[in-house]
C-alpha cells in the first residue's frame, strides 16, 4: 500500500527537488566567498580585449542541416515500419526517390552572392 504511494511520480519529483535544493545550500556554505572579478562575464578571447563590433550571425546553414537530418530520420522511420509486400516496396522506392531529391536540394551548397 505504501510502496506505490512512495513511488508515485509527483512524490519522487518532490523528493529529488528537496534533495537538490538541500545539496545546493550545503555546497553554497563551503564555496569560496568574495567579490566578482570585472572580467568574469566577458567572453574568453586569449587574454585580449577586442573592440566591440556588431556581428550579424546567420543560422540559415544550421537550419538547412537540421531540416535535412529531420527529413532523413523520418524517412528511415517510415521505411522501417512499411509492410513487406511488393506493393509497399514500390511505394517505398518512390518515397526514397522523393527523399533523395529533397536531401540533394538541402545538402548542396548555396551559391555565393
Rounded to whole angstroms, how far apart are CA atoms 66 and 44? 28
Residue for grid cell 511520480: 9
Specify if 37 maps to a domain.
no
- Averaged pLDDT of the chain: 84
Residue 92 in domain: yes
Cβ-contact 88, 50 below 8 angstroms: no
Query: Is pLDDT above 90 for 65?
Result: no
Could you tell me the three cell numbers for 26?
Answer: 550545503
Residue 39: inside a domain: no
Q: Domains in the chain: how many in total?
A: 2
Q: Report the C-alpha gap between 71 and 101 in whole angstroms.
A: 11
| pTM assigned to the model | 0.46
Alpha-carbon distances, residue 104 vs 28, 99, 109 (angstroms): 53, 9, 10
Distance of CA 29 to the CA centre of its chain: 34
Half-sphere exposure of 65 (CA within 13 A, CB side): 5
pLDDT at 2: 82
64 & 101 share domain: yes
pLDDT at 113: 65
Domain that holds residue 71: 60-107
Amino acid at each position: 500500500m505504501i510502496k506505490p504511494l512512495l513511488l508515485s511520480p509527483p512524490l519522487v519529483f518532490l523528493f529529488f527537488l528537496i534533495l537538490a535544493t538541500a545539496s545546493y545550500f550545503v555546497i553554497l556554505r563551503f564555496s569560496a566567498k568574495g567579490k566578482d572579478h570585472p572580467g568574469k562575464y566577458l567572453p574568453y578571447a586569449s587574454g585580449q580585449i577586442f573592440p566591440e563590433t556588431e556581428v550579424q550571425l546567420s543560422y540559415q546553414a544550421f537550419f538547412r542541416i537540421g531540416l535535412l537530418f529531420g527529413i532523413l530520420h523520418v524517412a528511415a522511420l517510415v521505411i522501417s515500419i512499411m509492410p513487406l509486400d511488393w506493393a509497399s516496396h514500390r511505394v517505398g522506392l518512390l518515397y526514397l526517390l522523393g527523399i533523395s531529391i529533397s536531401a540533394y536540394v538541402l545538402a548542396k551548397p548555396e551559391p555565393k552572392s
